Structure 1
Amino acid sequence: MLTIVMIGLVLSACAARLLMPIAGFGFPSTQLFVTWACLLLLIVLGLLRRVPSPLLLCRTTDLLWGVGLGLALRILQGFLSGANSSPFPDLRVVGGANQFTEAAVAVLGSVLVAPVLEEGVFRGLALVSCYVYLRRRVGGVPAAIASALISSALFVLMHTSGGSSGIESALQLLILAVTLCGLVFATGRIWGSIFAHVTYNATFSVLMIVGSIANG
């Protein structure tokens, strides 16, 4: 399954690159839709191959841990990026001919779509399949560490494949990914990481909306 995930991510990145000329003509969200479609396809393939049922259970503690951890990770990200001395992010930086539509897609997608799809692929399929494979060969703890690093590396690579992200951004993504892997291992369920990812992205979206209002 890990091989399928890696192939799918490579194809997704290649397709997004091929669509960059289209994005330049006012359709930047096209790349997002292609990436989401590829992630959704990977999840469907994973479900057909039978995902461990406890992984999909959802409990109240998942929501509590997810929201709390998501807020903590966003605060840490702000500290690492020097947010105290930086201006608020602004929705108007989102390009495209239809600026409002593209901004809405970016915000709603980052809060409602991306966390579910990305957690399903990286913390669901990649992490679990890698752990199951390695546990039989090296034992539980080494397998957990290795699978967390592998799935987190794939997560970072997907977000930085455009080449516009620096080392600081990659480090922040790695911290996010490894922490969410730890949450999945600690609970045995994926919903905590989904809620944490939603919270992490939602807080930035709120800052973008506030920045847009403040900047007129």
Structure 2
Amino acid sequence: MLLAWSVLSLGLGILAGYAVVAALPTAPWAGAAATVLLWLGMLVPVVLALRRSRPIGLFRFRATDLLVGIAFGIVLRLGQGWFQQTVQGEAGFPGILLIDGRIPVSWWLLEALPTGIVAPVIEELFFRVVLLVALYSLLRRPFGHVAAGIAAASLTTLAFVAVHLIGGMPSSDTLLSLTLVGAVCAVLVLLTGRIWPAVLAHVVYNVTGLGLAVVGALAG
């Protein structure tokens, strides 16, 4: 039932976002509104799941989680650079539209903060706390721990990638990077039994990408 509610809520969030963009195609805030609606679609099942039950230790934080998260976040970013280098022949800096030679304040508020902090936290809560745990719990008894873990990690990684395709089909190297991020974060939760290594790895991955964009803009 929780999985069904999650899919329904996510679908409604996606449809609501498309509706806003279609109804107000020229509004500068339409994209941001669509993203917020998508996040709300993810947060509803998170709230429902945590009100019903909370796996023991899932939100427990240990000092090693910080080290693991930072290390894997950097590895994921290096992997993204390697994929880009392999597919495109070079690894370039992400772009930022400068205004009068400066990074606009709006970029920090509407791009950096949501992408670097808000999105990773919401996505990890939805894909790992809700979907991964629900799938693993559902499959563990009939198929065993290992098979359930592999299946749950694979399915949630596919869902993670699919949601990131809403805005359009990305390049093959971006697709590979998304798959790697989803898979690594799922495995971190399964191996540690805690959510924070995955959250921190995801945050570090996104923040380092934003950092490269800032360096590229200032250097250019």
TM-score, scaled to structure 2: 0.89
The 5-angstrom pairing of residues 124-139 of structure 1 reads 124-139=129-144
From 134, 143, 168, give the equivalent of 2:173.
168
In structure 2, C-alpha distance between the alignment counterparts of 1:203 and 1:127, rounded to whole Å? 26
The Cα shift of 1:208 comes to 1.3
- Measured against aligned partners, the alpha-carbon deviations of 1:143-200 in whole angstroms (never above 9, x if no partner) come to 1000101111111110012223244322221111111111111111000000000000
Which residue of structure 2 lines up, in the alignment, with residue 181 of structure 1?
A: 186
In structure 1, C-alpha distance between the alignment counterparts of 2:40 and 2:179, rounded to whole Å? 24
Contact in 2 for aligned 1:92/1:103 (Cα 8 Å): no
Q: Which amino acid aligns with 1:26?
A: P
Which residue of structure 2 lines up, in the alignment, with residue 209 of structure 1?
A: 214
Which residue of structure 1 lines up, in the alignment, with residue 149 of structure 2?
A: 144
Contact in 1 for aligned 2:96/2:217 (Cα 8 Å): yes
In structure 2, C-alpha distance between the alignment counterparts of 1:87 and 1:128, rounded to whole Å? 37
Asked whether 1:114 is paired with 2:119, we answer: yes
The Cα shift of 1:105 comes to 1.5
Change in CA separation of 1:71 and 1:4 when aligned onto 2, cut-off 3 Å: same
In structure 1, C-alpha distance between the alignment counterparts of 2:27 and 2:219, rounded to whole Å? 29
Structure 2 counterpart SS, 1:54? coil
Q: Does 76-85 or 190-199 show the bigger shift?
A: 76-85
Structure 2 counterpart SS, 1:57? coil
From 169, 174, 196, give the equivalent of 1:191.
196
What's the C-alpha RMSD, in Å, of the aligned pairs?
1.8
In structure 2, C-alpha distance between the alignment counterparts of 1:25 and 1:116, rounded to whole Å? 27
Which residue of structure 1 lines up, in the alignment, with residue 3 of structure 2?
A: 2
Which residue of structure 1 lines up, in the alignment, with residue 19 of structure 2?
A: 18
Query: In percent, how many aligned pairs have the same letter?
Result: 33
Gaps in structure 1 of 5+ consecutive residues:
94-98
Contact in 2 for aligned 1:29/1:102 (Cα 8 Å): no
In structure 1, C-alpha distance between the alignment counterparts of 2:39 and 2:180, rounded to whole Å? 23
- Measured against aligned partners, the alpha-carbon deviations of 1:93-113 in whole angstroms (never above 9, x if no partner) come to 8xxxxx642553111011111
In structure 1, C-alpha distance between the alignment counterparts of 2:89 and 2:45, rounded to whole Å? 39
In structure 1, C-alpha distance between the alignment counterparts of 2:66 and 2:4, rounded to whole Å? 31
Structure 1 moving runs of 4+ over 4 Å: none
Which residue of structure 2 lines up, in the alignment, with residue 70 of structure 1?
A: 73
TM-score, scaled to structure 1: 0.90
Aligned length: 210
Which residue of structure 2 lines up, in the alignment, with residue 33 of structure 1?
A: 36
Asked whether 1:60 is paired with 2:50, we answer: no
